[in-house]
Structure formats: C-alpha cells, structure tokens
Amino acid sequence: MSTPALLEVNNYSKHFGAVSAPVRAVDGIDLTLARGETLGLVGESGCGKTTLIRTLLRLTNATAGTARLDGVDIAAAEGAELRDLRRKMQVVFQDPYQSFNPRMRVDQILSEPWVLHKGSVPRAEWPARVAQLLEQVGLRPEHALRYPDEFSGGQRQRLGIARALALDPALLICDEPVSALDVSVQAQVINLLSRLQRERQLAMLFVAHDLAVVRHISDRVAVMYLGKIIETGPTDAVFKRASHPYTQALLSAVPIADPTQRGKRKRIVLQGDPPSPIAPPSGCRFRTRCWKATEICAQAEPELIARPGSGTISACHHAEALAP
C-alpha cells in the first residue's frame, strides 16, 4: 500500500488583476510530494514559481484548486490549524539577510520561531537548542552572540536554514537558496541541505532555475512554463530523456563538466520572449517559440501524458519528435 503524499496540489491556480483579463501566474497545476522526497521545480523567471510558493505559504490566496499538507486544506485553515500548518511548512529564502532583523543577535533570530509558536520548545532549553541548530548547519555555538552582518553570504544562508529547522518542519520550501552564492559555496549549501533532508526525513520543494543544482539534489523534477507544469518525472529520466521541447532547450544550455564531451551536444536557442500571462497563446503556450509547432498546437492545449520509453510525463503534441 502506497504512503499518502505529504503535499498534494490539485488544479491549482492564482490569477491577478481584472476578471476580464487576468494575469494567469499559476494556471491549473498538479503536484505531489512525498515525505522524505525532494521535488525540484524549475523554469525561467516569470513562469510562476514564486507565486506558487506564496500561495502554499498562505502569503496570498489561491484563485482555484486545492493544496493539502498532511491532509489539511491550506486555503481553508484558520487560527490554530493555520499556525500548525505554518510550523510544519518552513521556507529558506534566496537572500536570508533581507529576512533577518540586523539588530537581533543570532540566538534571538533562531529562537524567534519559538516565541511565535509558544510551547513548542521550553524556554529553559532555548540556549542548548540554538547551539544544536548552529552545529547542525556547520556553524559554532559561539556564533549565537554575533549579528547577521558579521557573517559571509554562505554563513547567512546556513543561519537561514537553521531558523527554518527550528520548528522541526515536515516540509522545507527552498526558494532559489543558492543562486546568490559563489559556486564553491553553492556546493557546500546543497550538500548541507541533502544531509539534513536525509537525517530528518524532510520533504523539500526546491525552486531554482539552475538545472545543474536541481539535478544534484532532487529525486523528481517538474518543469514550469507560463503558469503550467509542462513536464515532470524522476530526475534521471528528465535529464536523460526529456520529451518536451522546452525542457530539451533548457537542458541544452546546461554546462558540461567533462571537456571531452563539450561540443557534442547541440545548443537549442529559443526564439523570442515568453508570451504575456495576460494573453497566453491559444493551444500550447510554448508553440510561439517551438520548432515542433504545427497547426494542432494552436488549436488544442496538450495534456500531460506519460511517454513510453522516456519515463517522464509531458504536455506536447509532438513529444516523440527529435530535437533539432
């Protein structure tokens, strides 16, 4: 018998602006995330990744659809139930410094979640728990008496992770957590997140635009374009046998570490810019930039369908066609 998903998102949408001409930032997506699993959510800027996160965290309300965390409807939760959901669902920001009060010491920053969620950790245990959190993210207990501006960017991200773990969440939402860091520091933070995920059996929704980073940390990948999920599947399947032309284009731009393999993969350069989410193209939203597009692509929106031999699920009328 399969284990129920920790996070279930069904036909989920978030539209902004006038009803007559809404901005379809998130438009009818489905996602599941199991306990202890990492789902990488990728796509270019403006595709709706951050909007999806904000609705899941109830920083803004969804327009339609449902999202359930541990069986509880996120949109319907109020009062104590909503506080409990937020305890189970914590976030690691792209730039944690912007979310730190520069006048607060590290021990005050890390204990702030326990102030907001009274009774979660006895007051007498706060100093020991702060020291434990710092050690878990690779910092020293004596760092508790420092201020945020006394740390490097990588160290501040470790502090952000420590604060997110303070309430022992079931789900960690990582919003571009390494994009502002140097490459060498990125690897350290990714390895830290991977270790913590294994040790704590965390579920992680890892949002990024860097596919190399996503490949390293994710069990599954979902590719988003103009408010919709257009391909999803196990990480290896998506990276080795992607069937959607947009995914193929993204993968063609990933740098190749092995110098003997460079030049053997053709770069797919997309033409034009993403269409406006206010007036997306008819049929397939990617067709205006797609080399596979035919008349049916303008007439009918493709459904997410399992692709035999690929291992992925993609929304494309011509998924079997080869890349250019």
Tell me: do 170 and 302 sit in the same domain: no
Same domain, 204 and 270: no
Residues 87 and 210 in one domain: yes
Tokens of 172: 């960690």
Residue 269 belongs to what domain range? 243-324
Q: 320 lies in a domain?
A: yes
Q: Is the pTM of this model over 0.75?
A: yes
Q: Quick one: how far is CA 194 from the chain centroid?
A: 14
Judge whether 234 lies within some domain.
no
Q: Do 172 and 268 share a domain, yes or no? A: no
Instruction: From residue 147, give the alpha-carbon distance in Å to each of 58, 244, 267.
Output: 29, 47, 46
Paired tokens of 14 = 């978030």
Distance CA 61, CA 27 (A): 14
Q: Based on the domain organization, do 157 and 55 belong to the same domain?
A: yes
Strands (E), 176-296: 203-208, 220-225, 228-234
Rg of the chain in Å (alpha carbons): 21
290 and 205 fall within a common domain = no
Residues 36 and 177 both lie in one domain:
yes
Q: Are residues 141 and 14 in the same domain?
A: yes
Grouped pLDDT means (10 residues each) for the chain, 324 residues: 81 90 92 95 90 94 95 93 93 84 94 91 94 95 94 92 95 89 86 92 92 91 95 94 92 70 70 85 94 93 90 91 63
CB 126 within 8 A of CB 111: yes
Considering the domain architecture, whether residues 60 and 177 belong to the same structural domain is answered as yes
User: HSE of 139 in the Cβ direction (CA atoms, 13 Å)?
Assistant: 29
Distance between CA 21 and CA 28 in Å, rounded?
17
pLDDT of residue 264: 62
Check residue 301 and give its pLDDT.
Answer: 95
Domain count, the chain: 2
pLDDT of amino acid 262: 58
Question: Same domain for 188 and 278?
Answer: no
pLDDT value at residue 4 = 75
β-bridge pairing 220-225 and 72-73: unpaired
Look at residue 65 and tell me if it is in a domain. yes
CA angle 285, 289, 291 (to 5 degrees): 115
- Residue 229 inside a domain? The answer is no
Residue 129 sits in a domain whose CATH number is 3.40.50.300
User: Can you give the pLDDT at residue 287?
Assistant: 94
Would 1 be classed as within a structural domain? no
- Is residue 131 situated within a structural domain? yes
Nearest-angstrom CA–CA distance, 281 and 226: 10
Is 121 part of a structural domain of the chain? yes
